[in-house]
Structure 1
């Protein structure tokens, strides 16, 4: 038996209202997309949803107390909280440069968490 899932596409600024037909975990069809990115987004969101995680970690000896971080790539949606929990306990030492790896293999995903800001020493 098939089901219908309604989504708002985030693939481009249009924000199309998508209607996705799903049967046995497979996408049978996508309606409402005005560009190809909508179909791609709907298929991925319904079969393997992923997200980029953004957060911050404490920094020791820096000009500020925390540095912004993000995953280098998207990770499975069900690994987000595990990733954030791993970041809670991390304290890095200044200086930090954009792109520095703050956490390797976040939540066992194979994706690194990197700094998105430079922080100089005090």
Structure 2
């Protein structure tokens, strides 16, 4: 049996989690103070996810790039592919905070949204 130690990042408690894994199956999870910590540990072992924060090119705006992020976490293994897809995109003003820049990136069901507004020069 393998023991994996994690620090929960879901809330400010930062619980120290211990996950016991046998093969590909979770046998036991300890150290969490809330159900969110339990879910975080399960997800981190089974399919780790991360929120992607990056920029996309802008044309004709007051800035050369616009900051964006995934609306929800996506599988960690898709981060590089998502960054590549976003590197191929150029947006034009007007862009407002929360506008969808890419809908359903890489068929994950997760949209990429603007985190900064872009207006014309």
Aligned-partner SS, 2:101: strand
The corresponding residue for 1:87 is: 86
Name the CA distance, whole Å, in 2 between partners of 1:84 and 1:69.
11
Equivalence map 1:5-20=2 (5 Å): 5-20=4-19
Name the CA distance, whole Å, in 2 between partners of 1:41 and 1:104.
25
Structure 1 gaps of 5+ residues are none
Alpha-carbon RMSD across the aligned residues, in angstroms, is 1.3
Render the CA deviation track for 1:28-67: whole Å, top value 9, x for unaligned: 2111222222211111110111111111111111111111
2:51 is the counterpart of 1:52: yes
TM-score, with normalisation over the residues of structure 1? 0.91
Structure 2 gaps of 5+ residues are none
Moved over 3 A (4+): none
Name the CA distance, whole Å, in 1 between partners of 2:10 and 2:114.
25
Shift of residue 70, structure 1, vs aligned partner: 0.8
Equivalence map 1:1-122=2 (5 Å): 2-122=1-121
TM-score, with normalisation over the residues of structure 2? 0.91
Shift of residue 77, structure 1, vs aligned partner: 0.8
Name the CA distance, whole Å, in 2 between partners of 1:68 and 1:35.
33
